[in-house]
Amino acid sequence: MGTEIGTQSVTREDFARFGQRLAAETQYARTAYDHGLFADAQRVAGFELEACLVDRGCLPAARNVSFLARLNSPLVVPELSRFNVEINATPQQLQGSALSRLESELTATWQQCQRVAAEEQGSLIAIGILPTLRDTDLSLANMSPSRRYAMLNDQILRLRGGRPLTLSIEGADRLATTHTDVMLEAATTSFQAHLQTPACDAARTYNASLILAAPLVALSANSPFLFGRALWQETRIPLFEQAVDCCDPGHPEYMRVTFGSGYLGADPTELFAENLSSYAVLLPFEMPGEIASCAHLRLHNGTIWRWNRLLVGFDDNGRPHLRVEQRVMPAGPSIVDMIANAAFYYGAVHSLTRRAVAPERELPFTAARANFYCAARSGLGAELTWLGGRRIMAGELLARELLPLARQGLAELELAVEDRRRYLGVIDGRLRSGRNGAAWQLAHYAKYHDFLRLTADYLAHQSRIVPVHEWPI
């Protein structure tokens, strides 16, 4: 969730000062974009991977404080719960062997994490929702010791008037529960691909990312279970949306976790203006720096979890840039699966952004949003509406149309031939077999009816670093 804050106590004056600075920075961002101050540089790729610490019995292990102290790596940081951590990548220019460099670094970091976890009698696992997770694990006692997290919890409950958060998901089974805090969010772990893009392409890249969200979640689904119930193929989607729900019931498009309210026009900074006008401030803390640092804009933006989020960053020379954070993919199943998912996204989004007719002109936003939830519910078996209003199954769309587009896009980006073959070959194998992470988990449980064995077998296969469509059951 980002930057730590200085204090947990806030006043009305704090909110007022933050709001004034946020408004000034939002106007600055718009003016800077109009005047061409945002970088039109090459594309840069990166990611964030959230993972769970588990003990030898494959149950959540609330040990991230001691784990991170032992590990002492700038690439690995705490997450909301004491049994979650986040692994970051060193950004890579999206060309040549960028993808294999990302995989090599992640593999090295992952192996280092596993060595340290073993010293603490446990393991690290990358999975959208841990099948052995219990409702009782999601308590404030397991919140990471961060003032930021405590304040987010307090402010979200304040906006809800103290009402508990209600979780209701219907899938193969039905789940209904309530929580008096935001710790339900800690059940979700994701693989978030970042794509820095030339400012002139940012709006179209963002819109194409929205359109690709449904096929991506169908392709990568890996979260079929929660608290012992089979729900959606990617249960993480409704779980996260309901875990921090503090919006006006009359405006569901402005939920804190949302698919969004529409496509972008020519100016991508419209999103920051929407943040200012439609979202209450949760962390009203004055940040150091000039208005051009956009520190308050970035802090506020970090408390609005659109499934595709536009971010402001700065290069080594201090010039601002824009990047899209594609948040729909779950963690896991294997390292090569995750890098393959990123490769598919980078290639496909590049091709869609380069179409002579913008794809957002051929697919209404309401259809893209409906596709997203249909894919989260049904995975590769979802029936989607595609460009021009065609109805097509997600698996068929991916295999026949989007995989070739991804190949074309990676070639145009001049990614290494060997990398293109390796990672898109993984996607091809997954589509031919019809087995993503969710399908493997569901098949395993149907055979053994044992979540502990499912998690142990998943962890063993994950350590082999082979794609999920090659995992036995």
Compute the distance between CA of residue 67 and CA of residue 113 in angstroms, rounded to an integer. 8
Answer yes or no: are the C-beta atoms of 80 and 186 closer than 8 Å: yes
User: Any bridge partners for residue 403, and if so which?
Assistant: none
Domain 12-470 has CATH 3.30.590.20: yes
Amino acid sitting at position 387 = L
409-445 in b/e form (b: 16+ CB < 10 A) is bbeebebbeebbebbbebbbebbeeebbbbbbbbebb
Amino acid sitting at position 58 = C
CB atoms within 10 A of CB 41: 14
pLDDT tens string 361-403: 999 999 999 999 999 999 999 999 999 999 999 999 999 999 9
Residue 198 makes CB contacts below 8 A (sequence gap 6+) with 39, 40, 41, 42, 43
Residue 95 makes CB contacts below 8 A (sequence gap 6+) with 42, 43, 413, 414, 415
Amino acid sitting at position 308 = N
Compute the distance between CA of residue 340 and CA of residue 330 in angstroms, rounded to an integer. 13
Q: Which two tokens stand for residue 363?
A: 């697919």
Q: Tens-of-pLDDT digits for all 473 residues of the chain?
A: 345 455 557 899 999 999 999 999 999 999 999 999 999 988 999 999 999 999 999 999 999 999 999 999 999 999 999 999 999 999 999 999 999 999 999 999 999 999 999 999 999 999 999 999 999 999 999 999 999 999 999 999 999 999 999 999 999 999 999 999 999 999 999 999 999 999 999 999 999 999 999 999 999 999 999 999 999 999 999 999 999 988 766 666 679 999 999 999 999 999 999 999 999 999 999 888 899 999 999 999 999 999 999 999 998 888 999 999 999 999 999 999 999 999 999 999 999 999 999 999 999 999 999 999 999 999 999 999 999 999 999 999 999 999 999 999 999 999 999 999 999 999 999 999 999 999 999 999 999 999 999 999 999 999 998 999 999 99
CB atoms within 10 A of CB 247: 20
Q: Which two tokens stand for residue 198?
A: 């030339």
Answer yes or no: are the C-beta atoms of 54 and 458 closer than 8 Å: no
Closest CA to 212 of 49, 103, 350, 340: 350
Q: What's the pLDDT at 63?
A: 97
Closest CA to 45 of 425, 464, 436, 423: 423
Q: What's the pLDDT at 8?
A: 56
Q: What's the pLDDT at 1?
A: 38
Q: Which two tokens stand for residue 108?
A: 């090295």
Compute the distance between CA of residue 89 and CA of residue 91 in angstroms, rounded to an integer. 6
Amino acid sitting at position 152 = L
Q: What's the pLDDT at 7?
A: 52
Q: What's the pLDDT at 253?
A: 66
pTM of the model: 0.96
Q: What's the pLDDT at 5?
A: 52
Q: How many CA atoms lie within 13 A of 286 on its CB side?
A: 10
SS3 assignment for the chain: CCCCCCCCCCCHHHHHHHHHHHHHHHHHHHHHHHCCCCCCCCCEEEEEEEEEEEECCCCECCCHHHHHHHHCCCCEEECCECCEEEEECCCEECCECHHHHHHHHHHHHHHHHHHHHHHCCEEEECCCCCCCCCHHHCCHHHECCCHHHHHHHHHHHHHCCCCCEEEEEECCCEEEEEECCCHHHHHCCEEEEEEEECHHHHHHHHHHHHHHHHHHHHHHCCECEECCEECCCECHHHHHHHHCCCCCCCCHHHCCEECCCCCCCCCCCHHHHHHHHHCCCCCCCCCCCCHHHCHHHHHHHCCCEECEEEEEEECCCCCEEEEEEECCCECCCCHHHHHHHHHHHHHHHHHHHCCCCCHHHCCCHHHHHHHHHHHHHHHHHCEEECHHHCEEEHHHHHHHHHHHHHHHHHHHCCECHHHHHHHHHHHHHHHHHCCCHHHHHHHHHHHHCCHHHHHHHHHHHHHCCCCHHHCCC
Closest CA to 379 of 445, 430, 447: 430
